[in-house]
């Protein structure tokens, strides 16, 4: 016999049933929060047009995208690849179906995305992302930025054990500051330097700015800006104190103030800080940007992030479609935080009740009992094997909460004893109905 390697390919999520149950539980809790907050669910295809997926991409995305080989019967189709996030297919979806959608379009997407990158712990190649986005037609009020942040906060509160903080900034602040300082030509480099500032000593950041041959005044101002972080009121005061007159900066300040105010109204001000070091790298964000982190476990980095993009689908349509979105990378959270015991999970046996008919003569009674218990929303299995009773009880103890042995006497008397396999106590059937 040819030897096959039966392990999943490296970087794929494949869980044992008990772990899958926990994963599904976390996923459905987040889904429910998204629903309660008024987001409508959609699913885009996993396979999409390569030119659509790569329209705006660059850098790593292009190197990591999984292309799909056309078959004889699909040879006439466009080039195809697997989606690497939910945002690009969403842009195509909104353009394609815009006449049939109502705006603001509050949408959730829950599913697997694919990136062929080097596999490492918590960095999967096939991974679940749970996104919410709000898409406007022409215009989208800043309040929706707070709406998605609050939604993510509510979802994360349900699944995270340790306290977490949401860090918020607005890219218009730095953009405006660079305009004021006449440093627009250096924007890409400076955004990148600040994006990395957190991971390196201050001296390195200062040196990197120095290397750009900026004036000392500019460097001082930039470092002063980057150091601003804290609770809402203090940050707004500090940003105002910079006395930047540039209108983009002022818009950014107004937007940040509005978002912080709204989150205060939602009652989560103590889990929100404004932090000018938040940039979100080379992403397509143009306004609000946010990250979430665990202050007691800083090594995990951002566990949920997102931001505002002024134009979701600028590559596909002239129509202005501003949006704001946030994504929870559940596969990563599960892989990284799960083993550390940092996720709120209630583990329970996979099965509520296992029925053990003693012989074929009791199959019919077992069926009737199963139907009754399932009507009471209990998950029920019947063991039809001809193993010895003690073996069946051992098997039941592995997967079920309760076991009911069904013999001739039980059927005749219609009196069934329910054994709780967790406590070894015995109960009448009524506790399950």
- Tell which positions 174-233 bind a copy of itself, by CB under 8 A: none
Structure tokens at 63: 């190197």
Among 30, 130, 144, 197, binds a copy of itself (CB under 8 A): 144
Residue 387-416 contact track with a copy of itself, rule CB under 8 A, x = bound: --------x--xx-----------------
Q: What is the 3-state secondary structure (H, E, C) of 369-407?
A: HHHHHHHCCCCEEECCCCCCHHHHHHHHHHHEEEEEEEC
Is residue 297 at the binding interface for a copy of itself, with CB under 8 A as the rule?
no
20 binds a copy of itself (CB under 8 A): yes
| CA-closest candidate to residue 199, choices 258, 273, 279 | 279
The number of residues that bind a copy of itself (CB under 8 A) is 106
Nearest approach in angstroms of CB 159 to a copy of itself is 17
Q: By CB under 8 A, what part of segment 346-385 binds a copy of itself?
A: 350-351, 354, 363-364, 367, 371, 374, 377-385
Q: What is the CA radius of gyration of the chain?
A: 27
Is residue 58 close enough to count as binding a copy of itself by CB under 8 A?
A: no
CB closer to a copy of itself, 92 vs 280: 92
Helix, strand, coil shares of the chain as percentages rounded to 5? 45, 20, 35
User: In this structure, what token pair is assigned to residue 154?
Assistant: 């509510």
What tokens appear for 183 in the block?
């440093």
**C-alpha to C-alpha distances, 8 to 84, 100, 277, nearest whole angstrom:** 20, 40, 39
> Residue 29 or residue 317: which is nearer to a copy of itself going by CB?
317
Interface residue with a copy of itself, options 245, 318, 390, 409 (CB under 8 A):
318
C-alpha span between 310 and 140 (Å, rounded): 9
- Of the candidates 120, 121, 279, the residue with the CA atom closest to the CA atom of residue 198: 279
**Of 30, 54, 90, 93, which lies in the binding site for a copy of itself, with binding defined by CB under 8 A?**
93
CB of 422 to a copy of itself, least distance (A): 17
63 is an interface residue for a copy of itself by CB under 8 A:
yes
Residue 23: CB atoms within 10 A of its CB come to 21
Our finding on whether 293 is near a copy of itself (CB under 8 A) is: no
**Which of the residues 73 through 92 are near a copy of itself (CB under 8 A)?**
73-74, 77-78, 80, 82, 92
Q: Which is nearer to a copy of itself, 144 or 285 (CB)?
A: 144
Residues from 243 through 262 that contact a copy of itself (CB under 8 A): 262
Residue with tokens 């609050």: 150
Q: In whole angstroms, how close is the CB of 4 to a copy of itself at the nearest point? A: 5
Closest CA to 89 of 137, 46, 124: 46
Which residues is 417 bridged to in the sheet? 428
433 binds a copy of itself (CB under 8 A): no
CB of 203 to a copy of itself, least distance (A): 33
């Amino acid at each position: 016999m040819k030897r096959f390697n039966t392990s999943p390919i490296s970087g794929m999520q494949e869980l044992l049933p008990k772990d899958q149950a926990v994963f599904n539980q976390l996923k459905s809790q987040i889904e429910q929060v998204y629903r309660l907050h008024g987001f409508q669910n959609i699913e885009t295809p996993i396979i999409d047009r390569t030119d659509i997926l790569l329209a705006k991409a660059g850098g790593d995305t292009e190197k990591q995208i999984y292309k799909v080989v056309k078959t004889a019967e699909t040879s006439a189709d466009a080039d195809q690849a697997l989606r690497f996030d939910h945002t690009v297919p969403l842009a195509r979806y909104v353009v394609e179906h815009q006449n049939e959608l109502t705006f603001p379009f509050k949408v959730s997407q829950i599913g697997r995305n694919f990136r062929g990158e080097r596999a490492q712990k918590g960095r999967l190649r096939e991974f679940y992302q749970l996104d919410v986005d709000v898409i406007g037609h022409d215009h989208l009020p800043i309040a929706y930025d707070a709406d998605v942040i609050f939604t993510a906060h509510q979802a994360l509160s349900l699944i995270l054990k340790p306290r977490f903080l949401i860090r918020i900034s607005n890219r218009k602040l730095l953009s405006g500051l660079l305009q004021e300082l006449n440093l627009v030509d250096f924007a890409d480099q400076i955004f990148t330097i600040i994006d990395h500032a957190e991971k390196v000593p201050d001296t390195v950041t200062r040196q990197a700015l120095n290397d750009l041959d900026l004036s000392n005044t500019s460097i001082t101002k930039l470092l002063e800006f980057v150091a601003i972080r804290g609770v809402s009121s203090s940050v707004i005061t500090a940003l105002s104190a910079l006395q930047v007159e540039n209108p983009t900066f002022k818009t950014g300040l107004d937007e940040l103030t509005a978002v912080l105010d709204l989150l205060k109204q939602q009652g989560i001000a103590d889990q929100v800080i404004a932090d000018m070091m938040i940039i979100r790298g080379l992403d397509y964000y143009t306004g609000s940007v946010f990250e979430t982190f665990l202050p007691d476990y800083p090594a995990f980095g951002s566990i949920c992030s997102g931001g505002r993009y002024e134009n979701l689908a600028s590559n596909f349509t002239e129509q202005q479609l501003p949006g704001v979105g946030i994504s929870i990378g559940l596969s990563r959270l599960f892989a990284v935080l799960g083993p550390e015991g940092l996720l709120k999970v209630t583990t329970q046996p996979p099965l509520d009740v296992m029925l053990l008919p003693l012989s074929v003569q009791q199959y019919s009674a077992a069926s009737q009992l199963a139907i009754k218990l399932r009507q009471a929303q209990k998950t029920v299995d019947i063991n039809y094997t001809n193993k010895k009773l003690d073996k069946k009880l051992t098997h039941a103890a592995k997967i079920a909460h309760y076991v009911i042995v069904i013999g001739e006497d039980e059927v005749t008397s219609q009196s069934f004893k329910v054994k709780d396999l967790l406590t070894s106590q015995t109960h009448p059937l009524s506790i399950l109905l």
